[in-house]
C-alpha cells in the first residue's frame, strides 16, 4: 500500500477513535466512510475496526475511560458495521452457507459481525447465531442448543469465535460434537481467546483460524 495512503489511514483512524470517544455518531459514520473509500471495506474491517477497538479496550483496562463509554463506543461501531453489512450485494452463484457462533458466556459479538461481512463479500450466505448464550447453570443444554441448530442447518463452514480464553473449553466441546455430526463441514475455531493454541493441538477436523483473518478466508 502507498505510504501516503497508509499515513492517511492512520490519521483517519485517530479521528474515528476521537469521534467514537465523544459519542459523535454522525462524524463517526463520516470518518468510517472516508476510510472505506480509501482502503476498501475488507481492510477497514480487519485493520481499522480491529485497531480502534483494541485501543478502546486498552483505554478501559488502563482506567482512562469507563465501562459506559466503552459500551457507547462499541455500540456506535456495531451500527457502522451492521450498516455496511446490509449494503453488501451478493451477485451470481453463492459459494455456500456459513454459520457463525460463540460459546456460552462469550457474548462479544463485534468480531462475529466483522466476520459476517467478510464472508458475505466472498458470496457466502451467513447465519449469525452469536450472542449472549446463557441458560442458567445448564451449560450442557446451552451447548446442545448451539450444536442442534448448526447440525440441522448443515452448513459448509462453521466459525466458532472465542474472545475470552476462559470460554475456550465450551468452544472446543461444541467443535468436537460438530466434527462428529458434520464430517463434511469445515469447522474453524478462532478469536483472541485462542491465542495460546498452536497448530496441531486441536483434534482432526477442527481448524485453527489464522490471526490474519483474511489469510484464513482466502483459503476457503
86-108 pLDDT, tens digit per residue, is 999 877 788 899 999 988 777 77
Residues 109, 78 share a domain: no
Q: Is the pLDDT of residue 214 over 80?
A: no
Percent of the chain with pLDDT over 90: 61
Count of structural domains, the chain: 2
Q: Which residue has the cell 466459525?
A: 159
Q: Is 20 left (phi over 0), alpha (psi -120 to 50) or beta?
A: alpha
Phi, psi of 124 (to 5 degrees): -100, 135
Q: Which of 52, 69, 87 lies at the terminal end of a domain, its last residue?
A: 87
Q: pLDDT class for 85, splitting at 50, 70, 90? A: very high
The pLDDT value recorded for residue 20 is 96
Q: With contact defined as beta carbons under 8 Å apart, do 85 and 60 qualify?
A: no
| Overall average pLDDT of the 183-192 stretch | 90
**Residues 151 and 190 grouped into a single domain:** yes
What domain range is 145 assigned to?
96-217
Q: So what's the pLDDT on residue 144?
A: 86
C-alpha to C-alpha distance for 76 and 42, rounded to whole angstroms: 19
Of the residues 87, 121, 143, the one at which a domain ends: 87
- d(C-alpha 161, C-alpha 100), whole Å: 7
Residue 8: all three cell numbers together: 492517511
CATH code where residue 173 lies:
3.40.50.280
Rounded-to-integer distance, Cα 31 and Cα 104, Å = 34
Same domain, 111 and 193: yes
Amino acid at each position: 500500500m502507498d505510504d501516503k495512503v497508509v499515513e492517511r489511514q492512520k490519521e483517519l483512524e485517530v479521528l474515528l477513535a476521537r469521534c467514537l470517544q465523544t459519542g459523535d455518531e454522525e462524524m463517526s459514520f463520516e470518518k468510517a466512510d472516508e476510510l472505506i473509500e480509501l482502503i476498501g471495506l475488507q481492510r477497514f474491517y480487519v485493520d481499522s475496526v480491529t485497531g480502534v477497538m483494541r485501543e478502546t479496550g486498552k483505554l478501559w483496562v488502563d482506567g482512562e475511560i469507563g465501562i459506559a463509554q466503552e459500551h457507547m463506543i462499541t455500540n456506535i461501531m456495531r451500527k457502522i458495521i451492521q450498516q455496511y453489512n446490509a449494503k453488501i450485494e451478493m451477485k451470481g452463484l453463492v459459494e455456500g452457507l456459513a454459520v457463525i457462533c460463540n460459546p456460552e458466556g462469550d457474548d462479544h459479538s463485534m468480531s462475529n459481525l466483522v466476520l459476517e461481512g467478510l464472508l458475505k463479500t466472498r458470496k457466502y450466505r451467513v447465519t449469525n447465531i452469536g450472542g449472549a448464550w446463557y441458560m442458567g447453570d445448564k451449560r450442557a443444554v446451552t451447548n446442545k442448543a448451539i450444536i442442534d441448530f448448526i447440525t440441522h442447518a448443515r452448513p459448509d463452514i462453521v466459525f466458532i469465535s472465542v474472545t475470552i480464553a476462559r470460554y475456550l473449553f465450551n468452544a472446543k466441546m461444541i467443535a468436537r460434537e460438530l466434527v462428529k455430526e458434520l464430517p463434511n463441514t469445515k469447522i474453524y475455531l478462532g478469536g483472541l481467546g485462542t491465542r495460546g493454541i498452536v497448530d496441531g493441538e486441536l483434534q482432526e477436523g477442527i481448524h485453527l483460524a489464522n490471526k490474519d483473518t483474511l489469510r484464513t478466508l482466502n483459503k476457503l
